[in-house]
Structure 1
Amino acid sequence: MKIRRIFFFLVLLAFSCEKDDKLAFEYITYLGDTCDGCPNIRITAPKALADSKIDKVVNNAIKEEIIYLLDFNEENDATDIESAVHSFTKGYTDLKHLFVDEPMTWEATITGSISYEDDTVLTIKLESYLFTGGAHGYQTIHYLNFNKTKAIALDGENLFKNTSDFEEYAESKFRKQEGIPEKGDINSTGFMFETGSFYLPQNIGYTQKGIELFYEQYEIASYADGPIVLTFPYPELQKYLAHVPKPK
């Protein structure tokens, strides 16, 4: 299977009089085969251009996340994005051969972008839509956060000085946004927190507007309710964030 790669280069201000600590990226688009019997695949992802440790950490995390998103089969042994695209295509064609007379269309669209970057923190946002049959597809957002100084990926807990303190603060904001009584059951208005208590989502990321909490469809509510999103402006988070962006 041939994968076409389309490159989009970010404009770099190489002659700026101020020091620019931002990483240099290129955008690469991976396309699946174009034919009547092929799934529709389009993956566009940023790739860090330098050879430093943080560039390698970022590129590997993006690669692994895209492989994970395309992996609907436990036997998927993809080691890069090209082979993940191939595996997704093979999954479709194998199923199509089993159900020759059934109308079938699969789709995988993943678009990566720089959600936030300063001298210390970088956040990559991956927006994805996958359809592999059934009543509807699945659309979501995944955030990948990095500490550029330490050259490490950050999970949700690493973003805060004390996760429990932030969780308590976030719950009060969540209840207010969603109209849940302050002292009532967190699920009293129809939410589905599995533990019966509020908890942070798996996807938390830096954005230009603030820290975003993104609950995927089914994570705490029904599919019909869609994703639940909370955004906290940085000035409110001085006492909670491990790294607070400086005002520009």
Structure 2
Amino acid sequence: MKKYLALLLILWIPFGCETEHKLTFEPLELHGESCKSCPEITINLPHALDDTGVATAINRSLREEVIALLSFSDNKDIGNVDDAMASFTDSYKELKAKFPDEIEWEAKINGEVIYEDANLITIVVNSYTFTGGAHGYGSTSYLNFDKTKGAELENWELFDDPEGFEKFAETKFRVQEKIPQDSNINATGFMFEGDAFHLSNNVGYTNDGVQLIYNQYEVASYADGPIILTLPYSEVNLFLKRKVKS
């Protein structure tokens, strides 16, 4: 019996070490108003349950992300997701009343934890909205959080050497997109402002490395879709404040 207990203890120790730093989440699913003249709104997000500062920061940031995506009213302060969904719905209803042939609007927002270690957690938010026109718009946002400080991190706070990382990322971007290293960054059709490379607005930790996502229209045309650059930790740990074993 003692042998079995010892074996169970040995198996439990690495498992416990692997999971003890994980935050606890539950799925949060929300839908907009259901009616003939209502747009389709579907929201799926992770909701942090832990009684910690970082859990509070995560839930607040996700709420703010949804509000920014759905808010269509400039006349009132929208402080919660329900009001944001109502803003999106009311704007469509008003347009539909004036133009009965208006195509139904749509909003889909999905969030997912894609990286977590003892110090940092990253959540990706993928969204798609259609509010008329030739096509809808899809975007990806990365939200990075310092678990110790209990706060969302700005992109520059991820790096010990932001300038070095940007230079390294440009080199890798040029290789991936087949842009000669000695040519203008826009030589092959990209649209970097000022003809100078810059980091994406969306930088996040993933299991495969640090990832940069340039959303549609950010540096290329809509038809080109999002541009994704993934840099393995073995190559970028030198620049990071929070190193990751590779």
In 1: Cα distance, 2:26 partner to 2:76 partner: 27
Determine if the alignment matches structure 1 residue 53 to structure 2 residue 53: yes
In 1: Cα distance, 2:67 partner to 2:16 partner: 40
Structure 1, residues 158-182: CA drift from partner, whole Å, max 9, x if none? 1111111000000000001111111
Query: 1:229: how far off?
Result: 0.5
Aligned pairs for 1:177-216 (under 5 A) are 177-216=176-215
Structure 1, residues 132-191: CA drift from partner, whole Å, max 9, x if none? 000000011101000101111111111111111000000000001111111101111100
Corresponding residue for 2:229? Answer: 230
Q: Is the 8 A contact 1:76 1:87 kept in 2?
A: no
In the alignment, structure 1 segments of 5+ residues that lack a partner are: 1-12
| Structure richer in helix, relative to its length | 2
Determine if the alignment matches structure 1 residue 97 to structure 2 residue 120: no
Query: 1:34: how far off?
Result: 2.4
Classify 1:162/1:72 alpha carbon distance in 2 versus 1 (closer, same or farther; 3 Å): farther
TM-score, structure 1 as length reference: 0.90
Structure 1, residues 8-47: CA drift from partner, whole Å, max 9, x if none? xxxxx9xx64361111111111101223221010001111
TM-score, structure 2 as length reference: 0.90
Letter in 2 for 1:32: G
Q: Is the 8 A contact 1:30 1:82 kept in 2?
A: no
Q: Is the 8 A contact 1:38 1:89 kept in 2?
A: yes
Letter in 2 for 1:224: A
In 1: Cα distance, 2:102 partner to 2:153 partner: 42
Q: Is the 8 A contact 2:102 2:132 kept in 1?
A: no
Corresponding residue for 1:121? Answer: 120
Aligned pairs for 1:37-52 (under 5 A) are 37-52=37-52
Classify 1:152/1:213 alpha carbon distance in 2 versus 1 (closer, same or farther; 3 Å): same
Letter in 2 for 1:34: S
Q: Is the 8 A contact 1:28 1:45 kept in 2?
A: yes
Larger radius of gyration: 2
Corresponding residue for 1:10? Answer: none
Corresponding residue for 1:62? Answer: 62
Q: Is the 8 A contact 1:70 1:84 kept in 2?
A: yes
Corresponding residue for 1:160? Answer: 159
Letter in 2 for 1:130: T
Letter in 2 for 1:209: D
Q: Is the 8 A contact 2:190 2:220 kept in 1?
A: yes
SS of residue matched to 1:239: helix
Corresponding residue for 1:8? Answer: none
Structure 1, residues 72-125: CA drift from partner, whole Å, max 9, x if none? 44235221111111111111111111212x232100000000010010000011
In 2: Cα distance, 1:123 partner to 1:56 partner: 14
Q: Is the 8 A contact 1:107 1:130 kept in 2?
A: yes
In 2: Cα distance, 1:200 partner to 1:48 partner: 29
SS of residue matched to 2:45: strand
In 1: Cα distance, 2:67 partner to 2:164 partner: 34
RMSD of aligned C-alpha atoms?
Answer: 1.4
SS of residue matched to 1:112: strand
Q: Is the 8 A contact 2:53 2:149 kept in 1?
A: no
In the alignment, structure 2 segments of 5+ residues that lack a partner are: 1-11
Corresponding residue for 1:137? Answer: 136
In 1: Cα distance, 2:146 partner to 2:103 partner: 43
In 2: Cα distance, 1:195 partner to 1:237 partner: 26
